Chain A
Amino acid sequence: QVTLKESGPALVKPTQTLALTCTFSGFSLTTSGMRVSWIRQPPGKALEWLGRIDWDDAKFYSASLQTRLTISKDTSKNQVVLTMTNMDPVDTATYYCARLRGNYEFDYWGQGTLVTVSS
């Protein structure tokens, strides 16, 4: 059974750095072809893809956010970490991690974690 769960601060201040952890089970990021993505959704708005990390440690980021994002993994803990620098109120959103299966579809999602950026 595949599960993913996001964790991290619910509130961050403007200009701070956000760090979110995705803890997963039911698969391993050491297995060829496995990938995990981060996706966010501002309240009442659409989904936005942020980036992904692959089993071979390849990383790909949204073109518009790549200067602020870092994704890393700890395979011993089955965790993927998203770091986003210089947070702004417009970054207030529910942040999801999701497993990327096959070509470019997300077959399992975490429950999401709401991050509010406010002073």
Chain B
Amino acid sequence: QSALTQPRSVSGSPGQSVTISCTGTSSDVGAYNYVSWYQQHPGKAPKLMIYDVNKRPSGVPDRFSGSKSGNTASLTISGLQAEDEADYYCCSHVGSYRVIFGGGTKVTVL
């Protein structure tokens, strides 16, 4: 099973919105509403930002939102802030109790 496809990098100015795509197949992203997103700052463990496609855990700012269309899930960061600069990974259930991660996207705040 190949990793989910994410853009290597996206960038935006403070206050702008950026969207990260996560493309899979009809066997993973397209088949289940079990897509999650993780934020990872350098040298730190990942942090859960979105689960079940569009749900936010307690404590995650509402500037982070998730969606899905067909085989592609997306994470949108609205009102970009300096602390949002990090790597972001999507993750999807692929059946048989397994999950797969995306290749990661580096978000740069200009």
Contacts and interface: CB of A to CB of B under 8 A. Distances in A.
Interface of A: 39, 45-49, 52, 58, 60, 62-64, 96, 101-107, 109-112
B100 interface: yes
Interface in B7-33: none
B104 A46 contact: yes
Contacts of B64: none
25 contacts: A45-B104, A46-B104, A47-B46, A47-B89, A49-B99, A49-B101, A52-B97, A60-B96, A60-B97, A60-B98, A64-B1, A96-B45, A101-B51, A103-B93, A104-B36, A104-B91, A104-B93, A105-B36, A105-B51, A105-B52, A105-B91, A106-B36, A107-B48, A109-B46, A111-B45
Chain B interface residue count: which class?
Answer: 20 to 34
Interface of B: 1, 3, 34, 36, 38, 45-48, 51-52, 57, 89, 91-93, 96-104
Contact of A112 (B45, B47, B91): B45
- Chain B: interface secondary structure? strand
B101 A46 contact: yes
A59 to B, nearest CB: 9
